[in-house]
Amino acid sequence: MHRNTLVSEIRKKQSYLCVGLDTDPEKIPPHLQGKPGATVLFNKAIIDATKDFCVSYKINTAFYEAMGVAGWEAMEETVAYIPDTHFTIADAKRGDIGNTSSQYAKAFFETIPFDAITVAPYMGEDSIRPFLEYENKWTIVLGLTSNKGAKDFELQKLGEEFLYEKVLSTVSQWGNPDNLMFVTGATQAGELANIRRIIPDNFLLVPGVGFQGGSLKEVSRYGMNDEVGILVNASRAIIFAGSGENFAEEAATIAQQYQAEMANYLVAK
């Protein structure tokens, strides 16, 4: 998906919500468990219920890979079902030597045609370059994550700067705002103004709103740029909002609440 298309969808829907399809088979409603293709049935219902309120879906591939062949098939079927108006993200956190990354890029940009993939930057440019060679595909690089372990490396000083600052400034030179995004966790909202100083034009994928306690208001205030420039992901707070037969309707209610709040921030911007 081209950047202009993504920005247009955000403006049209007054939403920068990304729904995370972190579909844990043990947490889907009991009436679906045990049915053939239960994961896909659940995902399709969530997509149908939330597609009017979000602009993106993020699939955490771990939940699908854990199921083996059936999981990969479920992931393919889910991606195929998502409307092409929505930006699709493989949250796979890949990154390896060049020829291996080339195969990862083929897997997630061609075999399963996602718009974007998350990658880890710590093996350097040659581990990321193969992803950047695809036109209208996005590489989403881990910048400053929302987990408590971020302090172990990302928030360690390298001379006068933090490691995450070095990652942002260096990696941003390998691509451009049309093919590079960065993960910046909502629980690190206090750093967003500094992040925007380093990468003013790139989109940010912001997890951590919802169950992890990040503030949508703070993320929006400090993370937006002139083209909005953020996708805020919510997973469990939406897809597991309900556990009964009306789970999809309950997911829609929460997604609509996020969208309504985002619309207010977009007007203010």
Record the tokens describing residue 212, joined without a space.
Answer: 């992890």
How much is the pLDDT for 80?
98
Q: What is the pLDDT of residues 135-152, one digit of tens each?
A: 999 999 999 988 889 899
Per residue in 39-69, pLDDT tens? 999 999 999 999 999 999 999 999 999 999 9
Residues 60, 249: Cα–Cα separation, whole Å: 22
Specify the pLDDT at position 23: 96
Distance CA 13, CA 115 (A): 19
Predicted pLDDT of residue 268: 66
Q: How far apart are CA 131 and CA 108, in angstroms?
A: 10
Q: How confident is the model at residue 214 (pLDDT cuts 50, 70, 90)?
A: confident
| 75-104 pLDDT, tens digit each | 999 999 999 999 999 999 999 998 999 999
Give the pTM.
0.96
Encode the chain in three state secondary structure. CCHHHHHHHHHHHCCCEEEECCCCCCCCCCCCCCCCCHHHHHHHHHHHHHCCCCCEEEEECHHHHCCCHHHHHHHHHHHHHCCCCCEEEEEEEECCCHHHHHHHHHHHHHHCCCCEEEECCCCCHHHHHHHHCCCCCEEEEEEECCCHHHHHCCCCEECCEEHHHHHHHHHCCCCCCCCEEEEECHHHHHHHHHHHHHCCCCEEEECCECCCCECHHHHHHHHCECCECEEEEECHHHHCCCCCCCHHHHHHHHHHHHHHHHHHHHHHC
Question: pLDDT grade, residue 211 (50/70/90)?
Answer: low
The single residue of 13, 35, 58, 93 carrying the catalytic annotation is: 93
Active site residue 151: no
β 116-119/138-144 pair status: parallel
- Kindly tell me if the per-residue pLDDT of 166 is higher than 90: yes
Domains of the chain: 3-268 (3.20.20.70)
Q: What is the pLDDT of residue 85?
A: 97
Residue 213 binned pLDDT confidence (cut-offs 50, 70, 90): low
Structure tokens at 223: 């993370």
Lowest-confidence segment of 117-121, 153-157, 245-249 by average pLDDT: 153-157
pLDDT averaged over every residue in the chain = 94
Nearest to 142 by CA among 108, 181, 179: 181
pLDDT digits (tens, 9 = 90+) for 172-195: 999 999 999 999 987 777 789 899
pLDDT over 90 at 131, yes or no: yes
**230 close to 256: Cβ distance less than 8 angstroms:** no
Report the percent of the chain where pLDDT is more than 70.
98
Q: What is the pLDDT of residues 27-38, one digit of tens each?
A: 999 999 989 999
